[in-house]
Amino acid sequence: MTDIDLLKREIEVLTFDQYGTIVDMQGGLSDAAAPYLEAKGWSGDPGRLVTWWRRTHFENSMIDSLCDRGHTPYREIGHRAVDYTLTRAGIAHTSAEVRELVSAIERLRPFPEVPAALERLAKRYKHVILSNGDRDMLEAAKPYLGFEFAETISVQDAGCFKPHRRTYEMAAERLGLPCMQVMHVANHAFDCIGAKAAGMRSAFIDRRGRPFGQTQHEPDIVVTSMTELAERLA
């Protein structure tokens, strides 16, 4: 782990992953999907279906970035992922129903501790969203976040999804800073690894108590909540 006093001296901006770090994606989408699945007569666990949905989305977004043949919008990949997941679960559905389920991403609420922790951190650092979401999706989500970020950056501007290093380098360039003066905060190991590989600092919000895994791109800070991050850095 990096010395905390050194981080405080050198970091000027905190960039935050939005989906799963600022907002409760798993819980929020499970709540949104539950009445739909009940109406369909599906007796499985909504949380498990959402996990399938999210894993499928992640896999498809990584394929899109690796193929590097033009950036597919996050929303479109979401539609493909939900269609695949519902089909896999044997749930008959329409395109309109798929679109409505994916639109719930724009109305997700933050984890309870997040707004207050962000206020504490904002006394020292500029706060910026760096998300895989489309620009219009991120704009629609702003009223639900409970905090006003200084800037919102979509990976659309880089033409690939995180953890491609181009996304983090683009963000640092937009901020007018070297990567080392930016710390990326994420609940996902892959996002922290991508940021470190690009030269940023990273903070891993380990809400689920899972191992980070072996990598040469270890996070600078590991905490269990955004509150703990604020206690360490603010």
Mean of per-residue pLDDT scores for the chain: 97
CA-to-CA distance for 169 and 223, rounded, in angstroms? Answer: 25
Residue 2: pLDDT over 80: no
Q: What is the pLDDT of residues 71-100, one digit of tens each?
A: 999 999 999 999 999 999 999 999 999 999
Q: Which fold has domain 4-24+108-233?
A: Rossmann fold (3.40.50)
The answer on pLDDT for 183 being more than 70 is yes
Q: Is 16 left (phi over 0), alpha (psi -120 to 50) or beta?
A: beta
Give every CB contact of residue 177 below 8 A, 6+ residues apart in sequence.
Answer: 12, 13
pLDDT at 224: 97
Does 3 have pLDDT greater than 90? no
b or e along 162-201 (b: 16 or more beta carbons within 10 Å of the residue's beta carbon)?
bbbbbbbebbbeebebebebbbbbbbbbebbbbbbbbebb
Are 225 and 209 in contact, with CB atoms under 8 Å apart?
Answer: no
Mean pLDDT confidence for 23-32? 98
pLDDT given at position 217 = 97
Q: What is the pLDDT of residue 1?
A: 55
How buried is 226 (Cβ within 10 angstroms: 0-12 exposed, 13-18 middle, 19+ buried)? buried
Could you tell me the residue ranges of all domains in the chain? 4-24+108-233, 25-107
CB 106 within 8 A of CB 74: no
Q: How confident is residue 181, by pLDDT bands cut at 50, 70 and 90?
A: very high
> Looking at the domain 25-107, which fold is it?
DNA polymerase; domain 1 (1.10.150)
In sequence order, what are the beta bridge partners of 152? Answer: 129
pTM of the model: 0.96
